[in-house]
A and B are shown apart, each in its own frame.
Chain A
């Protein structure tokens, strides 16, 4: 495991893939903030006053974090935010599963009819979290020499 995360090419590829996933996930949400706000509201975990601010800023946070990861700028900060967001997503999805809410995940699409994919998205998020946490760990150790490079 350690060897894999010390491999320069693997690290760069993982960073670009993780970043691209967040960039892709953010685009539709940025284009349809109201639809995304409705999806957040369906999770029924936030007071209604916080739903709209989250619908406005979260997609941009995903996009900016994703772009920084892809370009290799501010990698440590980006990975920390990335991992924190994934933990939040996993908690939100899990509570929806436990409460039996039949909702759209809102992960990649803001189409509310795309239901029943919450399990799959939770597993995907767990896998992404595994990679981002490990990348962060190795970046702290100085093995990830990407802070000054674009790729």
Chain B
């Protein structure tokens, strides 16, 4: 390689640098010169799962006490007793549920409210497989952000397919969904579209969006319900 060739290479690289910088500054579709790393934070996932489990166990205990009490309906004394029990239980239950709900909201919303004020949207929460399964059992809606071909090849049971790459096409579908319900986004394991989808939804006003990072691969491996 002679000096002339080196000069040519230098010239081409310099030209590229100058035009690239100028174009990116003036381009309406410009991107930041240095991208930010997408940080996954699972700290809330376990706390939320525990809260959900406590909520379930209280619910189950309340139901079993209610069933036991129903056998004593023919006795007036027992009936009065049952009524008293029920009223106490109802009070306790509602208090407990309220406390758990508050803790859930506090956990979920602590940073989210702050972020909402700063960024005008509620930040989605990163979750792991066990919490995703708990939300699935609660019949919350899962959103598959992969392309239709991947979705058709296999997906989490009942999941809705909204390919992030066709986000604009599906915007109307998302607009039609209630904004205050829980949604879980996922893709395969080595992908970012679930994150992109969650943030796009959050920016549309969805308040409870969870990102299941393990995605379809982890779900399938665990043998959980799938189509």
Contact = CB atoms under 8 A, between A and B. Distances in A.
Interface of A: 30-34, 37-38, 41-42, 44, 48-49, 51-53, 55-57, 60-61, 64-65, 68, 74, 76-78, 80-81, 101-102, 111-113, 115
Given A60-B19, A113-B165, A55 B5 contact: no
**Which 6 pairs from chain A and chain B are nearest by CB?**
A77-B8, A74-B8, A52-B35, A57-B20, A77-B9, A76-B5
A30 B11 CA distance: 20
Contacts of A31: 29
B147 interface: yes
A33 B5 contact: no
Given A61-B13, A64-B12, A64-B15, A44 B34 contact: no
B29 A34 contact: yes
Interface string B1-31: 1001111110111011101110110010111
Contacts of B31: 33-34, 37, 52, 55-56
A81 B9 contact: yes
Interface of B: 1, 4-9, 11-13, 15-17, 19-21, 23-24, 27, 29-38, 147, 149, 163, 165-166, 188, 190-192
Given A77-B6, A78-B12, A111-B165, 11 more contacts: A30-B23, A33-B27, A34-B29, A42-B192, A48-B38, A52-B31, A52-B34, A56-B31, A76-B5, A80-B5, A80-B9
Contacts of B34: 49, 52-53
A68 to B, nearest CB: 7
B57 to A, nearest CB: 41
Contacts of B19: 60, 64
A57 B1 contact: no
A30 B36 CA distance: 21
A34 B33 CA distance: 11
A111 B166 CA distance: 10
22 contacts: A33-B29, A33-B31, A34-B31, A38-B192, A41-B35, A41-B192, A42-B191, A48-B35, A48-B36, A48-B38, A49-B34, A49-B37, A56-B24, A57-B20, A61-B12, A64-B16, A77-B7, A80-B9, A81-B9, A112-B147, A112-B165, A113-B165
Contacts of A34: 29, 31
B183 to A, nearest CB: 22
A81 B29 contact: no
B119 to A, nearest CB: 19
Contacts of A53: 33-34
A48 B192 CA distance: 13
Contact of B17 (A57, A68, A78): A57
